[in-house]
Structure 1
Amino acid sequence: MHKFIILVLIIVTFSSCKQEKETPKVRYEATSKDKKEVKVDTTQIAVADLPIHFEGTNFLIHPIGNLNSAGKKVAYDSSSAYQDQSFTISNTNDFQITGHLSNLKFQQVNSDSLKVLSAKPILIETATYLKMFSDKTGNQFMVYTLSDSDTNMDGKLDEKDIKSLYISDSSGNKFTKISPDLNELIDWNCIEATSKLYFRTIEDSNKNGAFDKNDVVHYHFLNLLSKDWKAEEYVPIN
């Protein structure tokens, strides 16, 4: 009996892993019938972390995200402290905010006005302040890794969708996508000596919905001092 139960568990586990592995990160069906709208998750509660200030900037950043309270009991005691629930949605170090954030809001120092980063649905994984870089007018930069489209058409925007690369100035203005559509971001880096941002993406060249060794890796750079923030492709491998 015990052997039978173990065998069943192994089969179920294998089937689940196989099913998860075969789930495509991008689907190419173009019909309106197949395409699903991103659904609002009613189990989520929108919250904001306390504002963050990166040294050298004139702006505060308010991380905005969702607090999942489904299935959890949140107690409230006489000292006004919530129990058994963390309200922290992001982590921060000297130059980067990480998390699964639905947006950021920027507030100029000595001002009460808040400016939203994006009017469209996004899911931000990292927001990085390039503290060593500024253009000729003194503007500084923020770089973001995020998902901006429901590429697997499951009706929600999450980490299972394609990750893209964006840039803005330190006020959240000029929020611009610099990686190609339907390319998965691999990594990025900035070189101070050239004032350029370098990044790699992978294209699903065989259109099987996954990104693997059979696909094409692209290499790009962005001149941070340029006005249009348009990335160029380069070929380091012949």
Structure 2
Amino acid sequence: MKSISIIILMLTLLSCNKRQDRIQIIEDKNLNQKQIDSILDEYHFEYSRVVFIDSLEKVILPISTQNASGGSRYTSKSYYADSYPNYWNLIFYDVKTGKTKLLTKKKTRISDFTTNFKNVGPILKKSVLYRAGDTDYNLDKKLTYLDPEQLFISDIDGNKLLRLSPVDENLIEYEIVPNTDKIIFRTLRDSNRDKKFDEKDDKVWYLIDLSTASKAIEILNQEKRKEIENLYFKQWLVKNDKQ
């Protein structure tokens, strides 16, 4: 318990720092370690909260970063808060063994994560779900809020990270079917392939059953949606003399 108290104290002190609005991009790639260290000295690495997983033996520490001094001579000042993720990684800490593990070594924007699920199946009971994105979908060489988020899952040790929703669709919401390992989620599909996600695109519902290790299936596929749209056309848009 002493180690947990120390972690909480450290997190409290770190989260008291005022968060800045922007993150800089390093323009000079040919830096030595001393120059890299001088840049990193300008940043506060925040472990913003402690999330216990079902017991006191496993802990998640979300990592965010803030710039303390407003940049350095190596950085570009044109990369603002729209590029700043809620979390850029998570640490999984085993209190009993003292081992730590990063969720991923791939550049990733993590908006949120959820664990300690109640009234779910055995797989989700031992899982973590994430809203995250790791793909520069619009090819602007940045990873920002303009790129889509997907639904990800891992086990409670941070292993077996897996994408559940399509990489080229933006996650809107998800719900767990009670007492099962099934998830219903909705995405925004880039229907017109313009590399943007807006009101012109289709909203698509999916169901995935984790217990069958199968891919997500569309609840309403293109054929079914067309059938529904045609029914609407006949009932509401075509003049009916009997009405």
Q: Distance in 1 between matches of 2:164 and 2:184?
A: 11
Structure 1 runs not aligned, ≥5 long: 1-38, 73-98
Tell me which residue corresponds to 2:189: 203
| In the alignment, structure 1 residue 115 sits paired with structure 2 residue 101 | yes
Equivalent residue, structure 1, for 2:175:
189
**Kindly tell me: are residues 44 and 159 of structure 1, through their superposed partners in 2, closer, same or farther at Cα, counting changes over 3 Å?**
farther
TM-score (norm 1): 0.63
Shift of 1:195: 3.1
Provide the secondary structure at the position in 1 that maps to 2:90: strand
TM-score, scaled relative to structure 2: 0.61
Residue correspondence of structure 1 range 141-220 to structure 2 within 5 A: 141-220=127-206
Q: CA deviation at 1:170?
A: 1.6
How many percent identity over aligned positions? 28
Quote the Cα distance in structure 1 between the aligned partners of 2:62 and 2:216.
Answer: 27
Question: 5+ residue gaps in structure 2?
Answer: 1-24, 28-38, 72-84, 229-243
> What is the aligned residue count?
173
Could you tell me whether the CA contact under 8 Å between 2:53 and 2:156 is conserved in 1?
no
2:116·2:125 contact (CA, 8 Å) conserved in 1?
no
Kept after mapping to 2: 8 A contact 1:57/1:170:
no
Match of 1:63 in 2: 62
- After TM superposition, the structure 1 stretch with the greater mean CA deviation from structure 2, 209-218 or 179-188, is 209-218
Query: Is the counterpart of residue 233 in structure 1 residue 218 in structure 2?
Result: yes
Whole-Å Cα distance in 1 between the matches of residues 211 and 116 of structure 2? 13
Q: Deviations over 1:151-182 (max 9, x none)?
A: 23333323232111101122211110011121
Match of 1:47 in 2: 46
Structure 1 residue 197: Cα displacement: 0.8
Give the residue type in structure 1 aligned to 2:62: P
**Distance (Å, rounded) in 2 between the aligned partners of 1:232 and 1:57:** 37
Q: Indicate the structure with greater strand content.
A: 1
Which structure has the larger Rg? 2
Structure 1 residue aligned with 2:122 = 135
Amino acid at match of 2:67: N
Q: 1:130 to 1:112 in 2, by over 3 A?
A: closer
Tell me: CA distance 1:206–1:65, structure 2 relative to 1, closer, same or farther (3 Å). same
CA distance in 2: counterparts of 1:107 and 1:173, whole angstroms: 12
SS in 2 for 1:186: strand
Aligned 8 A contact 2:51 2:60 in 1 = yes
Q: 1:17 is matched with which residue? A: none
Q: Determine which structure has greater relative contact order: mean sequence separation of CA pairs < 8 Å that are 6+ residues apart, divided by chain length.
A: 1
1:125 Cα shift?
A: 0.5
| Aligned ranges 1:5-24 → 2 under 5 Å | none
Q: How far apart in 2 are the matches of 1:69 and 1:179?
A: 36
